[in-house]
Amino acid sequence: MKLRFIYQPVPDLAEAVAFHREDLQFEEAWRDGDDTVAFWLPDRSAQVMLSTTKQPAGPMYLVDDLDAWISEHPGIAILVATYEIPGGSVAGFCAPGDNVFYVFDQPHA
């Protein structure tokens, strides 16, 4: 498992992009359509992913195989059902304190 993204849902993408670019001076990493923009953290260890999608905020961890990871962790409840992303899939899981984290793979990226 490797931290790749900090997922942050936002109601106004343009405002959030301006804040991260101008106020925090983060460098844009990529965009996906009109609903998602990612910025590098200053040390480039991970990215902040801003999106107008409605899932809960949380860290996103890359694994080799999402289905295998789910099978190996049957005691961790799935909060956000598995869905497709470019090159792979992602699911959201319950963490203590009503928090959420995501695990994803991208074997076809």
Q: Please indicate whether the domains covering 1-53 and 55-109 agree at the CATH topology level.
A: yes
pTM passes above 0.95? no
- E runs forming strands in 1-109: 2-9, 28-32, 36-40, 47-51, 58-62, 78-85, 88-95, 99-105
Tell me, which fold does domain 55-109 have in CATH?
A: 2,3-Dihydroxybiphenyl 1,2-Dioxygenase; domain 1 (3.10.180)
Domain boundaries of the chain, sorted by first residue: 1-53, 55-109
pLDDT 10s per residue in the chain (109 long)?
A: 999 999 999 999 999 999 999 999 999 999 998 999 999 999 999 999 999 998 999 999 999 999 999 999 999 999 999 999 889 999 999 999 999 999 999 988 7
Q: Which CATH architecture has domain 1-53?
A: Roll (3.10)
